């Protein structure tokens, strides 16, 4: 791990990690920005500044107009094809390998935590790793879904003839029950919840830091821009997420 100069805030965070019996990370889109994946809400660059999510990424749009949905999501598939984990993902893997991190809860669907090597991973919004048929239940791995996307004229089809849906949570859908139960258990049991690259505005995931606080734990923020939990955080780091997490690992 590349060494980084530790600021006072990084040293404070390192102390919190050392003291914690259980540390859990909660990650959002900001952790993947250094990998070349835009986040959703940053002014001027956020994905939802360019498109209306309700017009392209809602379950009703998928059911009613799969062509419109896949014009948007096909571009997402292409943009994520060559993206690789960055130093922030790898820093969390190193913390896990050193026994300092009990798990990662992520809002991201980009598979980068998997590719980095995180073992205890909860993908609360699903993952592009598979696509599935909502009618017959058949599942297809990512590369097969991509091949069918190119073969079938812009809408990948199941063998039964119905449109495939990426196995991610769209607007208008509930989060997977098992994933949320696991995330809730991890957050409630954490002495320290390390929130990385998330605005903490999208519920129900945004409620997890409150769960940690009510259970007597602490929260630490590593994210740029304000969050609803800034006043409750034991420490906040607002620099480059890669540099901050690499500095944390170096300080431990």
Q: Which residues are catalytic?
A: 125
- Determine the 3-state secondary structure of 236 from DSSP: strand
Task: Give the position of tokens 């073969």.
Answer: 151
Dihedrals phi, psi of 43, to nearest 5 degrees: -55, 130
CA distances 100 to 19, 20, 26, 248, Å, are 10, 9, 14, 12
- What are the tokens at 86? 């960055």
Residues counted in the chain: 252
Judging by beta carbons within 10 Å of its beta carbon (0-12, 13-18, 19+), is residue 160 exposed, middle or buried?
exposed
Return d(Cα 192, Cα 18) in angstroms, integer.
10
Dump the DSSP string for 43-107.
TTT-HHHHS-HHHHSBHHHHHH-HHHHHHHHHHHHHHHTT----HHHHHHHHHHHTT---EEEE-
């Amino acid at each position: 791990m590349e060494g980084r100069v530790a600021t006072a805030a990084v040293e404070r965070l390192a102390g919190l990690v050392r003291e914690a019996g259980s540390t859990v990370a909660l990650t959002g889109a900001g952790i993947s920005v250094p990998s070349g994946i835009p986040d959703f809400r940053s002014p001027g660059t956020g994905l939802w500044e360019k498109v209306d999510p309700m017009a392209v990424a809602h379950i009703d749009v998928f059911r009613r107009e799969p062509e419109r949905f896949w014009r948007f999501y096909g571009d997402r598939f292409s943009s994520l094809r060559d993206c690789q984990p960055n130093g922030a993902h790898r820093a969390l893997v190193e913390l896990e390998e050193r026994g300092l991190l009990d798990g990662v809860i992520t809002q991201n669907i980009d598979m980068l935590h998997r590719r980095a090597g995180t073992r205890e991973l909860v993908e609360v919004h699903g993952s592009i790793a598979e696509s599935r048929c909502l009618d017959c239940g058949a599942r297809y791995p990512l590369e097969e879904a991509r091949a069918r996307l190119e073969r079938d004229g812009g809408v990948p089809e199941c063998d039964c003839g119905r449109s495939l849906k990426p196995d991610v949570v769209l607007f208008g859908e509930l989060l997977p029950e098992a994933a949320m139960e696991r995330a809730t258990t991890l957050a409630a049991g954490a002495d320290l919840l390390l929130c990385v690259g998330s605005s903490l505005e999208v519920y129900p995931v945004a409620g997890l830091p409150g769960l940690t606080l009510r259970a007597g734990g602490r929260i630490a923020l590593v994210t740029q821009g304000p969050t609803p939990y800034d006043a409750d955080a034991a420490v906040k780091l607002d620099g480059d997420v890669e540099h901050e997490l690499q500095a944390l690992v170096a300080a431990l």
